[in-house]
């Protein structure tokens, strides 16, 4: 359970090798933190990440988690709880960007992105939410994207999945509030990370560390949604209402 200062003692990162997810974990570590669980597919990479977090008073566990194996999500969360007790905070931080030129025309590639970014995010989040409702407390941080605010023609499958998961999390969060579970949706812009390596940075690009700082502040104030950087909230207030013919001509990358 969170301590008196609202600091989580047990943190679960679903997508345990995510640059943004790990930055959030590092930002949230406090003397109260006792356990971090990195749930990931690449266990070797997960162990390398864990080595950078461990210290004498912090247990860092690496567990197998295949996001695409949605039938396993309940069992993974149950196993984490059985071994480490209540999950104070879960960070849902796995997604695929995909190549928009391919996923816009290749149905198999599109289905793979949609399954990971939407279906798997839904089932993993519900698995965590069910556990936290049983506990009577907990927080969930779900990584969305500004790409879902108004989906760009350059990568409609990725943007569409982010729009979908954002809306899902907002609705689920409203339903969880009375059970003592707080849901916060994070809408980053272009983040300089392994996912975007080799891509041209978009305006207002940011870093995993900045996103993590925004997340920490948002959790302390129990925000429902946060933007990283914050200016993008106002940028997209305008872009949401840009007429279609003009929107299609904007050089948004």
Would you list the domain boundaries of the chain? 10-249
The pLDDT assigned to 4 comes to 42
Burial class of residue 86 (count of CB atoms within 10 Å of its CB; 0-12, 13-18, 19+): middle
Give Cβ neighbours of residue 149 (< 8 Å, ≥ 6 apart).
163, 187, 236, 239, 240
Task: Identify whether the C-beta of residue 204 lies closer than 8 Å to the C-beta of residue 189.
Answer: yes
The yes-or-no verdict on residue 88 having pLDDT over 90 is: yes
Please provide the average confidence, as pLDDT, over all residues in the chain: 90
Q: Which of 94, 118, 158, 236 is catalytic?
A: 158
158 is catalytic: yes
What pTM value is reported for the model?
0.90
Q: What is the pLDDT of residues 6-50, one digit of tens each?
A: 789 999 999 999 999 999 999 999 999 999 999 999 999 999 999
Just give the CATH number of 10-249. Answer: 3.40.50.720
């Amino acid at each position: 359970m969170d301590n008196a200062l609202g600091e989580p003692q047990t943190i679960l990162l679903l997508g345990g090798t995510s640059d943004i997810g790990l930055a959030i974990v590092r930002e949230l570590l406090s003397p109260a933190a006792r356990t971090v669980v990195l749930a990931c597919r690449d266990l070797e990479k997960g162990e390398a990440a864990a080595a950078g977090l461990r210290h004498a008073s912090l247990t860092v566990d690496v567990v197998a988690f295949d996001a695409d194996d949605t039938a396993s999500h309940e069992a993974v969360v149950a196993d984490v709880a059985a071994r480490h007790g209540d999950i104070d905070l879960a960070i849902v931080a796995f997604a695929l960007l995909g190549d928009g030129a391919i996923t816009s025309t290749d149905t198999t590639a599109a289905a793979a992105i949609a399954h990971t970014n939407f279906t798997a995010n839904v089932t993993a989040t519900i698995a965590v939410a069910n556990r936290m409702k049983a506990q009577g407390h907990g927080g969930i941080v779900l990584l969305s994207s500004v790409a879902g605010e108004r989906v760009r023609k350059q990568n409609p499958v990725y943007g569409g999945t982010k729009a979908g998961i954002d809306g899902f999390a907002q609705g689920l969060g409203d339903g969880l509030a009375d059970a003592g579970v707080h849901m916060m949706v994070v809408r980053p812009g272009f983040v300089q990370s392994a996912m975007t390596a080799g891509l041209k940075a978009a305006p207002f690009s940011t870093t995993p560390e900045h996103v993590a700082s925004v997340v920490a502040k948002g959790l302390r104030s129990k925000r429902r949604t946060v933007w990283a950087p914050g200016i993008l909230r106002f940028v997209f207030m305008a872009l949401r209402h840009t007429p279609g013919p003009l929107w299609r001509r904007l050089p948004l990358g």
